[in-house]
A and B are shown apart, each in its own frame.
Chain A
Amino acid sequence: MNAPEIAKKLEDIPPGSAITIDMKIDSYFDFIRATLDLFATRKDLDCIYVTSTIPSESILNALSVLEVDIDRVYFVDCISHSMMGKTSQSDHVIFVESATMLENIMLKVQYLMKKSKRENKVVIIDSVNTLAIHNNTKILSEFFHILLNNLRSKDAYIFILNMEGQGSEDLDSMMNLVADDKFRIPAGQEENGDGNGGGEEASE
């Protein structure tokens, strides 16, 4: 499934929904591109991107190569500090010292929500799997429960990335509990008949 097809799938999602996006790593940038194109460019929303997977700088570089407009994208970067690397100052990036500081992630999202003048926002959480490396399922459930309810009440579109094959039964149960729905992005070979996903939207 390519970026325009993903965007088409996401088009009808109502505001205030929290959707788990199950996908293979191959679809990573297609999903980001589709989401930013649909919500930031076409729907004119600010995007808050919480990354604990790869540093914001790497995502920004990749998006710039893909010629994706990043003016409305604001990052909460929970990985760069932990890598002890140099972090560049930007109005579009806020750093959280560690992915274990879940309250600080909530606070930074709250700050960006408050700062944004646009009515609706889209929030991408990348990803449940990398957050689970640093946190146990109990505290992660509590984090998602509070954060998602807060964002829902503000009518944000929420996408939580879940990399296929990198989760656990506990993690899947937790996401079923806290999210409203699940959307699976099939990998390329599955669409060609080699897999069994078929691009269907999975509901709970």
Chain B
Amino acid sequence: MDAARDRCVTGIENLDNILNGGIPRGNTVLVTGSCGTGKTTMSMEFLVHGALMGEPSLFLSVTEASDKLLKNVIPYDFFEDSLIKKGKLIFIDLPVVYELFGMTKGELDFEDIDLLVKAIADIVRDLGIKRLVIDSITSVCYQLRTEEKIRQFILKVGKSLSEYGCTSILVSEISPSSERYSLYGVEEAIADGIILMGNLQRRGDLLRTLQVVKMRGTNHSRAKYVLDLTPSGVLLVPLLKGGSI
């Protein structure tokens, strides 16, 4: 199974080890967690490494304006401004796309979904995008409202991206107490992979954690890891159990 699929090496060394070499190329992965768990930072690093490896990478920002986002990103040791200038790392604010296609009403209908999927697919095809992040899919889902429309959007966008060999991350926001991996429950069922990020409280300490719950097309560890966001990128170590059962 592992050898059959080409890998999209995330460049996050420990994560690639957990995934047995990287995300199977073309997969749509849900990166999910509550606020402050590092979802955006990790997704951004995935794109920066891709751009450094020569793969055009696109960040579709839904909740935050790209320029504000860039200011708040950790100053990576490996980041190069030229990636943006050369068009290897591209930022697009999704609300601009909505406006361009006249999707200004609060709720998108099935026709809008087709238009939006086509718009994203056209950008990916025209710019040769190999890595895409949508931050966040939850905000897109707010405008879709029904499970049926969310299902249709994710299925269609995932299929289009996969056809172009584009590996995508859909950032999903959930509440800390959520028992599901996504707000509507639909996103997690359709995605090829789920990476769950969380805050673990232990004896008064708050640890950031990461766990690969599912990843189609590869064997992977399902253990929980503790992560740190550093200028050298995301670092991971196993969560210590201390003999607990």
Chain A contacts for B228, CB-based, 8 A: 104, 107-108, 111
Given A111-B228, A114-B232 in contact, is the A104-B207 Cβ separation under 8 Å? yes
Q: Known: A115-B232, A139-B243. Is A146-B238 also a contact (CB below 8 A)?
A: yes
Q: How near does chain A come to B6, taking the closest CB pair, in angstroms?
A: 27
Give B202's nearest chain A residue, CB to CB. A100
Contacts of B242 in A (CB 8 A): 135-136, 138-139, 142
Number of interface residues of B (CB under 8 A): 21
Q: Is A103 a contact of B203 with CB atoms below 8 Å?
A: no
CA A115 – CA B230 in complex, angstroms? 10
Does A29 count as interface, using CB distance less than 8 angstroms?
Answer: no
> Which residue in A115, A135, A142 is a CB contact (below 8 Å) of B241?
A142
Q: How far is the CB of A90 from chain B (nearest CB, A)?
A: 15
Is there a chain A Cβ closer than 8 Å to B240's Cβ? Answer: yes
Whether, in the assembled complex, B127 has its beta carbon less than 8 Å from a beta carbon of chain A, the answer is no
Q: A134 CA to B244 CA in the complex, in Å?
A: 17
Q: Are A104 and B243 closer than 8 Å at their CB atoms?
A: no
- B window 70-85: CB within 8 A of A: 77
* Residue interface bits A107-148, CB-to-B below 8 A is 1, else 0: 110110011000000000000000000011011001100100
CB distance from A138 to the nearest CB of B (A): 3
Give the residue of A101, A107, A142 whose beta carbon is less than 8 angstroms from that of B235: A107
Interchain CB contact (< 8 A) of B237 among A97, A98, A103, A136: A103
B241 and A107 contact, CB distance less than 8 A: no
Count A interface residues, CB 8 Å. Answer: 21
A102 and B242 alpha carbons, distance in the complex (Å): 11
Taking a contact as CB atoms under 8 Å apart, the answer to whether A97 and B205 are in contact is: yes
B12 at the interface (CB under 8 A from A): no
Q: Which B186-218 residues have C-beta < 8 A from chain A?
A: 202-205, 207
B18 contacts partner chain A, Cβ-Cβ < 8 Å: no
B52 within 8 A of A: no
Q: Can you name the residue of chain B whose Cβ is closest to the Cβ of A111?
A: B230
Q: For A101, A103, A139, which residue has the most chain B Cβ atoms within 10 angstroms?
A: A103
- A contact residues around B241 at 8 Å (CB): 139, 142
A143 vs B227: C-alpha distance when bound (angstroms)? 15
Complex formed: what's the CA distance from A37 to B235 in Å? 31
Could you tell me if B232 and A101 are in contact, using CB atoms closer than 8 angstroms? no
Let me know if A1 is at the binding interface, CB within 8 A. no
Q: Is the CB of A100 within 8 A of B203?
A: yes
Residue in B202, B204, B237 whose beta carbon sits within 8 Å of that of A146 in the complex: B237
B-chain residues with CB within 8 Å of residue A111 when the two chains form the complex: 228, 230, 232, 235
Residues in B lying within 8 Å of A, measured CB to CB = 77, 202-205, 207, 226-228, 230-232, 235-243
23 A-B residue pairings within 8 Å (CB atoms): A97-B205, A98-B204, A98-B205, A100-B205, A101-B207, A103-B207, A103-B239, A104-B228, A107-B227, A107-B230, A110-B237, A111-B230, A111-B235, A114-B232, A114-B235, A115-B231, A115-B232, A135-B242, A138-B242, A139-B242, A139-B243, A142-B242, A146-B237
9 interchain residue pairs of minimum CB distance: A139-B242, A138-B243, A103-B226, A107-B228, A106-B237, A111-B230, A114-B232, A142-B240, A138-B242
